[in-house]
Structure 1
Amino acid sequence: MIGYYVHHRGSGHRHRALAIARELDTPVTGLSSALAPVGWTGEWIELAPDTGPETVHPVDPRAGGRLHWVPRGGTGLLARMAAISAWFVAARPEAVVVDVSVEVALLARLHGIPVVTIGQPGDRRDPAHRLGYDISEAIIAPWPAGLDPLIVDEPNTAKIRPVGTIARIASTDATSARRGGVALLRGHGAFGTDPLSLAADSLRRSGIPVTEITGSVEQISHSLRDATVVISHCGQNAVAEIAATRTPALLIADDRPHDEQRHLARALERFGVPAVVVAEAPSPDRDWAADIERARRFDGIGWNRFTSGDGAAAAAAIISEVAFAGREAAI
């Protein structure tokens, strides 16, 4: 049995969990305060939110800087940690995958369960992330080797295992005729002002139609494969799906904790992908139409060196390796 903790913010963590779970031969139980993703076939334990009236003005939520969110007196936090602990005792998992929570990783390890952490881009050298990485057996990096958007302290760099991108959409090695024009692919975890809306509104005022991508996974896949250029943020899952469909892109970094998207954007620029990458906050008078014209000139086949389509399987192999080691140690 594998436990898989899924962060509730946005949708990317759930999409990644679904893709990896499908590649595992061992039963997987999801644990999250978010709903199970469509297509999840295993058990899914819905956890209480870790917020509530008593956390409006939280007391010592970072435990002196060692953790990220453990407000004193948090009844939701108490309920969710108790539920996770009870599942650990009942299910006795061979490993727990954490995407992402330092607190859940620490809880698992305190129960004697080996932990695999899903890495995220950004500067993660704060004490809380350092603790989470210190206690992890492996850090799965859902990006290709050589991209290096994650900064950690030196002892933990050896734990980083790049597996390639992980997407809901099947990867293709070819590009087809594209008739869809400029498309917009949004995420669901944005903070503050949305730079994608600023770019799309400016393009529409310039007379360039922008079609927003919505719908099922199949519809999203079709829209991406048909678009001549897609505008999106620099979230891991958005970039993975764009790469899977070999679509030229305009990628705009959003403000996120630990400069997550800006670190990924800079890494994409260094790596070289068929996209115009806006890593820093754009100026109010940025010429978005010129960016689109630049993006149109890229050949989407350039995404081939960025994604191989087997990232989920490679991640599952690492998880199985850790679980097998845990099983052997228990004998």
Structure 2
Amino acid sequence: MRIGYYAHHHGSGHCRQADKLAALLPNDARAQLTVFTSLDIDSYRFTAIDEQQIIRLNAEDERPDDILAGRAGEYWQPASLHYSPVGNGDIQERSHQILDTIFHCKIDLMIIDVSVEVAMLCRAASIPYLYVRLPGIRDDAPHFGAFVGALALLAPYPKALESAQTSEWVCDKTLYLDFIYSQQAESYTYESFIDILEKLSVGGEISAPKSTSLPSIEAQLIDKSEATIPIVTVIKGYGGHKAIDEKLPELRSLLPNALIVSLGPIDDDKRCYVDISAEVDDVTPFICHSDYLMMACGLNAVAQAYNYDTPLIVVPDDRPHNEQAVMAEALVAQNKALNWQQFKTLMSVNDGQSESIAQTIHYRSKQHPTTSVDSIEKNNSEENNFEEDSGEETNAVTPTAGQVFMHSITDYPTTKLWFENWLLLRLNLTPESTIKY
């Protein structure tokens, strides 16, 4: 089947999610994927698919010549839409771009991440779609309409992190893909991590050190077991970082002797509270080897950190539908992270000792185990070892939920066959009737 993917323009996360899903396809099937987005090429460059597979859409901002504003109020705003200017030439053009491309490229199925308006456009044009369901409280009429109109909903996170406030029928119509990983993370030693910090201290933006100097840090951090200066990495994305930047002064106060590294954007007036401010292509060594990890709750960031042992402090950014707040609550409830207040309390109890805090988190996590990629891989490894002990050789690796989903859409020639023979078998809901011949 030929797949279209609509990626919202806010931040780079939606395009990155499309890129990660594309990477799960067999190489010869990636050419069958078309991405629609109004995000410009400088904001995100795809790696799994070619630029000619990207349809750069017109923006959907309001214009002075609009007849009605995007949110025109009662009696003028359709209950099924969040935003719908009338007489907007850009939206007319982008709607034409979407429908024309779907028709000429013979796209069989759309994945919408995320837009209620694009979902309704597809349903009105009789185009089947799957709707990506992000965390948060999305129980308003426009979202419910988009959910109802979809063949199914896709959740790019584990079911264990589902909000208790989500309607049962929404969960029943959802495929949980778990967190989606673009590639096998490179393995970094602690020594290589220190080398990276050294290079950043030369090439990155360095604030005036508080009570530390980088040469002495290098000397003291040769062996992590003997390190005396805690390393705190603060990871932020471009979708919003106000909430986490506001915590930097207090973080510095809590850990006056720590090496604080800020990755991603940072407000100019907050640079004085960190030792290193930088942009990096791979945050893996920082996630793996820092003493503390502090970040917001965007899906891509959480996915990267979810299965590491580094103590995680979550500071959700303000987003529509409480998207990050709900994810933070779920992570804390599953004992995968601490909120800011819990972190401050533990700092006072343990006098800032990262080892004690890590042990506290890990102990609590063991009391409430959750299914994770690590546990799945561990079980697979044990099964493989059993088979090897039985004299049967196997190199099989159990595919992830995301891989199973993406490969399924290449296994069927039509959306109808896929819907009836693969998708419906995995949902707890069925339509009242399907067309049979």
TM-score over 0.5 for the pair = yes
Contact 1:102 1:132 in 2 (8 A): yes
Change (3 A) 1:11 1:288: farther
Q: Deviations over 1:14-64 (max 9, x none)?
A: 111111011124321110001353314240000000004336982545833
Q: Deviations over 1:250-298 (max 9, x none)?
A: 111121111111111111122221x2124xxx7xxx6795599486522
Q: Which residue of 2 aligns with 1:195?
A: 243
SS of the aligned residue for 2:59 comes to coil
Matching residue's letter, 1:277: N
Mapped partners of 1:150, 1:92: distance in 2: 39
Unmatched 5+ stretches in structure 2:
198-230, 264-277, 378-399, 420-434
Deviation at 1:71, TM superposition (A): 1.2
Choose from 292, 312, 325 the match for 1:229: 292
Higher relative contact order (CA 8 A, sep 6+): 1
Mapped partners of 1:69, 1:33: distance in 2: 16
Contact 1:96 1:116 in 2 (8 A): yes
Mapped partners of 2:69, 2:327: distance in 1: 31
Identity %: 22
Q: Deviations over 1:168-189 (max 9, x none)?
A: 45369x9965767110100211
Q: Which residue of 2 aligns with 1:30?
A: 35
SS of the aligned residue for 1:120 comes to coil
SS of the aligned residue for 1:71 comes to coil
How many residue pairs end up in the alignment? 321
Contact 1:175 1:246 in 2 (8 A): no
Contact 1:130 1:152 in 2 (8 A): no
Give me the CA root mean square deviation. 3.5
Contact 2:160 2:371 in 1 (8 A): no
Q: Which residue of 2 aligns with 1:255?
A: 318
Q: Which residue of 2 aligns with 1:298?
A: 358
Normalising by the residue count of structure 2, what TM-score does the alignment of the two structures yield? 0.64
What does residue range 49-64 of structure 1 map to in structure 2 within 5 Å? Answer: 49-54=59-64, 58-60=69-71, 63-64=77-78
Bigger Rg, which one: 2
Mapped partners of 1:292, 1:253: distance in 2: 25
Matching residue's letter, 1:68: H
Matching residue's letter, 2:158: P
Mapped partners of 2:89, 2:326: distance in 1: 35
Matching residue's letter, 2:34: T
Q: Which residue of 1 aligns with 2:6?
A: 5
Mapped partners of 1:171, 1:140: distance in 2: 24
Alignment of 1:144 onto 2:149: no
Deviation at 1:306, TM superposition (A): 3.4
Matching residue's letter, 2:247: A
SS of the aligned residue for 2:169 comes to helix
SS of the aligned residue for 1:79 comes to helix
Q: Which residue of 2 aligns with 1:326?
A: 416
Unmatched 5+ stretches in structure 1:
none
Q: Which residue of 1 aligns with 2:235?
A: 185
Mapped partners of 1:64, 1:71: distance in 2: 11
With 289-298 and 94-103 compared, the bigger mean Cα shift is at: 289-298
Change (3 A) 1:272 1:175: farther
Mapped partners of 2:124, 2:168: distance in 1: 24
Mapped partners of 1:161, 1:294: distance in 2: 41
Deviation at 1:111, TM superposition (A): 2.8
Q: Which residue of 1 aligns with 2:268?
A: none
Q: Which residue of 1 aligns with 2:100?
A: 86
Change (3 A) 1:254 1:169: farther
Mapped partners of 1:167, 1:292: distance in 2: 36
Deviation at 1:99, TM superposition (A): 0.6
SS of the aligned residue for 2:45 comes to coil
Contact 1:102 1:128 in 2 (8 A): yes
Deviation at 1:314, TM superposition (A): 3.9
Contact 2:38 2:59 in 1 (8 A): yes
